Structure 1
Amino acid sequence: MRFLFKTSYEQDIRLFRDRVDAFWYGLLALLVVGLPFVIDEYYVGETSWVFIYALCGISLMVLVGYTGLVSLGHAAFLGIGAYAHAYFLQQGLPWVVAMALAVVITTAAGFVVGLPALRMTGIYLAIATLAFAVIIQEVFTRWESVTHGFAGMPVDKPTIFGLVFEDDRSFYYLCLFFLVVALWLTRNLLRAPTGRAWIAIRDSEIAAQSMGVNLAIYKSFAFAYSAGLMGLAGALFAHKIAYLAPDIFTILLSIQFLLLVIVGGLGSLHGAVFGAIFVALLPPLIAILRDSIPESLANFATTTGLAPIGSLGAAIGAFLAKPGVEAGIFGLILVLVILLEPLGMYGRWLKIKLFFSTFPMYKKATFRRQKSYMRSERLR
């Protein structure tokens, strides 16, 4: 087990904890860069979804996990970014300019929506952001001169400085680039006084205000920054789905983003990435199981002569094919995570690391759940 001996305050705000962490992150970077060359093109496209959802998770994690402000309207920011980017591209603007304008517009929208956050907290703020999402969805439907309403808006492949990202592999690297930039920028913000002010507001607004933290400024900045990241994800989202329609950006998508950060682990950028892996890969996993389980059980039933096993496989495939099953599985997993692992997937990963680093001296009581007296004790 490694023990860090700290000799300066700068060690608390380093990008990497030590050289060992830097080595493992560097190895992870090499694996991610080389991944498209060793997996099928279909899985390259699905991994691009992971990167886009990770951007969305970082956006909502800043607001929910680090500032303590609950939002049920982040799908609206995603839609604003997607539609703004697609509209500016149709007007003939360069890709980089269209992306920048989409981020600026979404950031401004986030700042405006963040104004009610100065007087609202908890469920009241969630209701306010939910109302904003409903209003924006109506705008997407009615403003046909810009969004084309339910007729939809096609989005071409991204072209940056004459380079067309027309295949899944090139788009994979484009999404990876913006995800790394977002992680680096957010990580630096969290190490700066801004991030420390956000965490202080999350733990106790009264204590933060008594120590000189301007609640109005930092809450508004948290909303604006979170919306800006969501607008960036929206631009990539538009290219990924290639056709925008108002019924995509519903309240269910906002709830899915909230599920992402809770399952991944609140108060952690790692949790945003873990949650994105879960949310992005669960639907294709269900589709694979829906096709493979009946076939494999049917083959087993044929070889063994057990007909009930084949009928059981057909029943399982029919059940997984029902439209509400995916949402039901999401809800069931959310309940199980809240009951069994409140710290999420990243919390479980920390426990696994501690188990192997302290083996055979590991004790089950290390992570025994105790009564929490402050919100910060639940978001370590």
Structure 2
Amino acid sequence: MRFIFKTDYVQDIRLIKHGGQMFWYALLLLFMFAAPWLIPEYWLAQLTFVLIYSIVGLGLMLLAGFTGQFSIGHAAFLGVGAYAQAVLTNAGLPFPLAMLCAAVLAAAVGVVVGLPALRVKGIYLGIATLAFGFIVEEVFARWESVTGGNAGMHVKSPAIGGWKIDSEEGFYFICLLTAVLVTLGVLNLLRSATGRAFVAIRDSEISAQSMGIHLARYKTLSFALSAALAGLGGALYAHKLRFLSPDQFNIIQSIDLLLLVVIGGLGSVHGAFLGAVFLIAMPQVIALTKDYLPDAIGQAPGLQTVVYGGVLVAFVLFEPLGLYGRWLKVRTWLQLFPFYRKGMFKRQKSFQKSDRLK
């Protein structure tokens, strides 16, 4: 069992808390860099999707998990980034510059959505973002001169200078590098004053405002940063699929992204990656097991939706902290064994007194 005694502020905000974390993260990075030579091309493509969804999930986690502002139309930001990347790349703009422009454009759209959403919260905020998602999907379908409409549009392979990246391995390394940089950026943001302001707003808006935190400014900033990361993931998503159509960014995609952060674990960076693994692995598991099920169940067209819904309900009822929360409990149990207490992980209701006075 490990005890960490913190004696100064620098130690408290350190990214790597102890040598064990350094060892396991280094081992994980080593595997990720060696993956193209260790796993088949099909599973490498699935791992690429995990990295892309992790980037988008980090953005939604920043908004929902750390600021407490839920979005049910986040696929719209993903689509803005994807279509911006496709249009700019097809026009001849260099790949890295196109990615930057896609992220900036998605952030600008996030500000446009965030400003009106300041007046609503909770389920009403979800309805507002859901309506925005429908509007953006309709724009993608109707603006045929730019997006190609329902006929869709093809996306060129990414190119950096004279180097055209048309192999699965090359694109995987781009996604891996982007995911690492985004993760480090989010971790540094969360240990800054801005990140702490986000968490304060999530825990209690009244308490945060009483401490001098400007709610409108930080909520809008959270929307902008979340949309920028979704747009960045959308840029990679466009090159991965090579073809875009409006129905790829519908309400189902938004629900999948929300499912990602809820099942992964709200309020944790690890949860974005665990949720992405779940989102990509679950269809594979369903496809592998449906042959062993009765035809009435295995061949049912809505099997995947039913499984997703059942898993989501189970997590909300029995494990609201998600996969990462479950791992923390297992790790604590192993560390304390055999001295654990039976009711150690019993959930208790806790809330701020200021929230009861509304």
On whether the aligned pair clears a TM of 0.5, the verdict is: yes
Separation in 2, partners of 1:39, 1:321: 30
Asked whether the equivalents of residues 61 and 266 of structure 1 are also in contact (C-alpha less than 8 Å), the reply is: yes
Asked whether the equivalents of residues 117 and 219 of structure 1 are also in contact (C-alpha less than 8 Å), the reply is: no
Letter in 1 for 2:319: E
Asked whether the equivalents of residues 90 and 156 of structure 2 are also in contact (C-alpha less than 8 Å), the reply is: no
In structure 1, the residue matched to 2:255 is: 255
Letter in 2 for 1:173: F
* Structure exhibiting the larger radius of gyration computed from Cα positions: 1
From 326, 338, 348, the equivalent of 2:326 is 348
Superimposed CA distance per residue, residues 316-366 of structure 1 (whole angstroms, 9 cap, x where no aligned partner): 5x6334331111110000001111111110011111111211122122311
In structure 1, the residue matched to 2:244 is: 244
User: Post-superposition shift, 1:97?
Assistant: 1.6
In structure 2, the residue matched to 1:299 is: none
My pick for the range that moved more, 22-31 or 233-242, is: 22-31
My pick for the range that moved more, 333-342 or 360-369, is: 360-369
Identity of aligned residues (%): 52
Letter in 1 for 2:236: L
Superimposed CA distance per residue, residues 230-253 of structure 1 (whole angstroms, 9 cap, x where no aligned partner): 000001111111110011110111
Letter in 1 for 2:86: A
TM-score by length of 2: 0.96
Separation in 2, partners of 1:52, 1:135: 24
In structure 1, the residue matched to 2:205 is: 205
Asked whether the equivalents of residues 95 and 158 of structure 1 are also in contact (C-alpha less than 8 Å), the reply is: yes
Separation in 1, partners of 2:350, 2:36: 44
Superimposed CA distance per residue, residues 283-327 of structure 1 (whole angstroms, 9 cap, x where no aligned partner): 122222235x3xxxxxxxxxxxxxxxxxxx5x25x6334331111
Alpha-carbon spacing, 1:26–1:134, altered in 2? closer, same or farther (3 Å): same
In structure 2, the residue matched to 1:337 is: 315
Separation in 1, partners of 2:352, 2:167: 49
User: Post-superposition shift, 1:65?
Assistant: 0.4
In structure 2, the residue matched to 1:183 is: 183
In structure 1, the residue matched to 2:338 is: 360
User: Post-superposition shift, 1:32?
Assistant: 1.5
Separation in 2, partners of 1:373, 1:80: 37
SS state at 1:121 partner: coil
Letter in 2 for 1:204: S
In structure 2, the residue matched to 1:319 is: 297
In structure 2, the residue matched to 1:79 is: 79
Q: State the structure with bigger RCO (CA 8 A, min sep 6), 1 or 2.
A: 2
My pick for the range that moved more, 77-86 or 319-328, is: 319-328
SS state at 1:4 partner: coil
Asked whether the equivalents of residues 63 and 222 of structure 2 are also in contact (C-alpha less than 8 Å), the reply is: yes
Asked whether the equivalents of residues 116 and 125 of structure 1 are also in contact (C-alpha less than 8 Å), the reply is: no
**Structure 2: segments with no counterpart, 5+ residues:** 354-358
SS state at 2:195 partner: helix
SS state at 2:72 partner: coil
User: Post-superposition shift, 1:374?
Assistant: 4.3
Letter in 1 for 2:242: A
- Structural RMSD (CA): 1.4
Q: Does 1:328 find its partner at 2:311?
A: no
SS state at 1:266 partner: coil
- What is the number of residues matched between the two proteins? 353
Separation in 1, partners of 2:42, 2:147: 30
Asked whether the equivalents of residues 58 and 269 of structure 2 are also in contact (C-alpha less than 8 Å), the reply is: yes
Letter in 2 for 1:64: A
Separation in 1, partners of 2:242, 2:180: 23
Which aligned runs of 4 or more in structure 1 are off by greater than 4 angstroms? none
User: Post-superposition shift, 1:61?
Assistant: 0.4
Matching of residues 82-97 of structure 1 within 5 Å: 82-97=82-97
In structure 2, the residue matched to 1:65 is: 65
In structure 1, the residue matched to 2:148 is: 148
User: Post-superposition shift, 1:217?
Assistant: 1.0
Separation in 2, partners of 1:61, 1:115: 19
User: Post-superposition shift, 1:209?
Assistant: 0.7
Asked whether the equivalents of residues 104 and 228 of structure 1 are also in contact (C-alpha less than 8 Å), the reply is: yes
